[in-house]
Structure 1
């Protein structure tokens, strides 16, 4: 499964996900931040699920209708919790995310909005 981590996601999540067999890129490695719209567009072009802490991506996808290949938003998680939650959600809800679902995950709670 292909993933794009937004800059706001702790960089250590990238190695943990790569070690688990995921194809991961992190926008923190890019020379400059292209902005949310371009990050979402790149994830879509490359068929990657976007992982972020930023709620603006949900607005871009839902309100503005920008195309995406699934979004996982992490809420109020420490760096280490980001790893654990990402691995759990990706393992259990990969198919939903691949079809364009938007998942919001925090400790003890997961909400999934299926694609329209």
Structure 2
């Protein structure tokens, strides 16, 4: 079953394309919520039961400090020198851990993945 994602404006559009090509249900902030503040993006993702994919570390603050409810968050941290590895790593993460992404804050880095349960 395809997962439902909301890709933040901070991510390259190639992420949206790769997820769609893989058959996932993907909304892009740049297409439907352009310019929305992080709080609005987070609220929309929660209402629509979508996992946020972002490169914006502020989502950690929203989730943990401000207790903003979320379906799930994948924070992507890839340096410019490793950008070519981003989409393959993200697709691999989703394929391998698809049943564990909901309810989790994931930090995806080259050769490293960290999972932390979302606050209730």
Secondary structure of 2:106 counterpart: strand
Unaligned runs of 5+ in 2: none
Q: Which residue of 2 aligns with 1:107?
A: 110
Query: Is the 1:10–1:79 contact (alpha carbons within 8 Å) kept by the matching residues of 2?
Result: no
TM (norm. structure 1) is 0.91
1:90 to 84, 88, 94: 94
Contact 2:9-2:34 at 8 Å conserved across structures: no
Distance 1:45 1:5 in 2: 15
Alignment TM-score, normalising by the size of structure 2: 0.88
CA distance in structure 1 between the aligned counterparts of 2:115 and 2:109, rounded to whole angstroms: 12
Q: Aligned partners of 2:12 and 2:39: how far apart in 1?
A: 20
Distance 1:32 1:18, change over 3 A: closer
Q: How many residues align?
A: 115
Q: Which residue of 1 is the match for residue 72 of structure 2?
A: 70
Q: Give ranges in structure 1 of 5+ residues lacking alignment.
A: none
CA RMSD of aligned residues (A): 1.4
